[in-house]
Structure 1
Amino acid sequence: MTINSLIADYGLAAIFLGAGIEGETCVVAGGVLAHRHLLPLWAVWLAAASGSFVADQLFFASGRYFRDHPRVKRIAAKPGFAKALVTLERHPVLFVMGFRFLYGLRTVSPIAIGTSHIRTRTFMPLNALAAAIWAALFTGIGYGFGDGIERLFGGVLSADRLVPIAAVGLVALIAIAQAVRWSHHRYADRCERTASAVRQVS
């Protein structure tokens, strides 16, 4: 049974569950079905964002409250877990916002964050915002390129076939993030130069 047929049979519930388990493949498939007018676009986005948010809150809670559980310990022993903690330490907010887009760190990251100093009241709103952006991106890919995706893959989506599409979306997101970061640094440098000039005049 393909992802497309699962969503066709179970609708938004499949997208909600799939967003937390299967990830991008299910959300893009939902976007394609919205492109066909089989599901409302806003409902696909909401189901995807909600499913991703809930799944990562549960992963975060498992790291926060069940870090001594054997299954959590096995996940913590993986190399990606240590990598996630190092990146989190360097860029906490950016990492919480972006771990969904990091291949290989999608599942371990919220558990790692749960074991860190990040508070639940800090993680929850960032997780909600990141889930909304993530859902909009991959729902938009499915909706905006629905005809091309169906022609390219014959109407059947799989995780292997989605990799090139997800890669393009990820590259675009990284490029946007880098542009925003560059603009922020330029603005900060300009403010610093202005402040220095004011101090010298004073």
Structure 2
Amino acid sequence: MTIEVIVARYGLAALFAGAALEGEAAVIAGGVLAHKGLLSLPLAMLVAALGSFTADQGWFYAGRHFRDHRWIAAARGKPAFAKAVAAFERRPTGFIFAFRFLYGLRTVSPIAIGSTQVSARLYAIVNGISAACWGVIFSGIGYVFGHSFERVLGRLAAGRHLWWVVGGLLVAGIAFGGWRWYKARHA
């Protein structure tokens, strides 16, 4: 199976999952694939935004509907949760927009916001706008700097090895995201 067939079959699904589970590294990789002509840039941006939006909506509703569950109650005791709620209380709409850009607060923030009294409609609207901006920015970074990324990766990024490089970056990004989640949960 050629790289084009693999990307055509799994590229956007992998980008959606990567944006939902890990974030920036997956979306930048999607921009690099668009730079190579293996994905449509507007479609990569849209799928990245949808992946991020969907995951954050899910976490918001988890915080909303399971706020008394022991897992959410345990999360409330973590410093990152308290930090997210405090930032949200100062500027609710601004924090909903900005949390996905803030290191260390991205995973816990939708849960924390869901446990507040903010309307689900306001959260969905601001989350959608923020996810769209995030998808465009990070896909654009991958696209604009795609040539530089290729040069840095050298021969591995050329031809049939590109999928392995992108896959490796996605796996590394997901592993890093899992490590951050673990550290935040056990802090």
**TM-score of the two chains, using structure 2 as the length reference:** 0.78
- Cα 1:7–1:69 change in 2 (3 A) is farther
The residue that corresponds to 2:133 in the other structure is 133
SS of the aligned residue for 2:87 comes to: helix
- Cα 1:93–1:7 change in 2 (3 A) is farther
The residue that corresponds to 1:11 in the other structure is 11
- Cα 1:61–1:7 change in 2 (3 A) is farther
- Cα 1:119–1:7 change in 2 (3 A) is farther
Task: After TM superposition, list the pairs within 5 Å mapping 1:82-97 onto structure 2.
Answer: 82-97=82-97
Task: After TM superposition, list the pairs within 5 Å mapping 1:103-122 onto structure 2.
Answer: 103-122=103-122
Between the aligned residues of both structures, percent identity stands at 53
The residue that corresponds to 1:151 in the other structure is 151
Alignment partners' CA distance in 2, 1:76 and 1:115: 9
Alignment partners' CA distance in 2, 1:72 and 1:153: 41
Alignment partners' CA distance in 2, 1:84 and 1:116: 11
Cα distance, 1:152 vs. partner? 2.0
The residue that corresponds to 1:186 in the other structure is none
Question: Does the aligned pair in 2 maintain the 1:33–1:39 contact within 8 Å?
Answer: yes
Measured on the aligned residues, the alpha-carbon RMSD in Å equals: 2.0
Question: Does the aligned pair in 2 maintain the 1:24–1:138 contact within 8 Å?
Answer: yes
Letter in 1 for 2:11: G
SS of the aligned residue for 1:118 comes to: coil
Alignment partners' CA distance in 1, 2:63 and 2:77: 13
The residue that corresponds to 1:81 in the other structure is 81
Alignment partners' CA distance in 2, 1:84 and 1:91: 11
SS of the aligned residue for 2:37 comes to: coil
Unaligned runs of 5+ in 2: 1-5, 158-164, 177-187
Cα distance, 1:7 vs. partner? 6.0
Question: Per-residue CA shift, 1:60-86, capped at 9, x if unaligned?
Answer: 001101112222223222110000001
Alignment partners' CA distance in 1, 2:54 and 2:13: 13
Alignment partners' CA distance in 2, 1:139 and 1:33: 9
Alignment partners' CA distance in 2, 1:14 and 1:25: 12
The residue that corresponds to 2:72 in the other structure is 72
Unaligned runs of 5+ in 1: 1-5, 163-202
Higher relative contact order (CA 8 A, sep 6+): 2
Question: Does the aligned pair in 2 maintain the 1:7–1:15 contact within 8 Å?
Answer: no
The residue that corresponds to 1:199 in the other structure is none
Q: Whose Rg is larger?
A: 1
Question: Does the aligned pair in 2 maintain the 1:7–1:30 contact within 8 Å?
Answer: no
**TM-score of the two chains, using structure 1 as the length reference:** 0.72
Alignment partners' CA distance in 1, 2:8 and 2:72: 34
Letter in 2 for 1:111: I
Question: Does the aligned pair in 2 maintain the 1:75–1:81 contact within 8 Å?
Answer: yes
Question: Does the aligned pair in 1 maintain the 2:34–2:44 contact within 8 Å?
Answer: yes
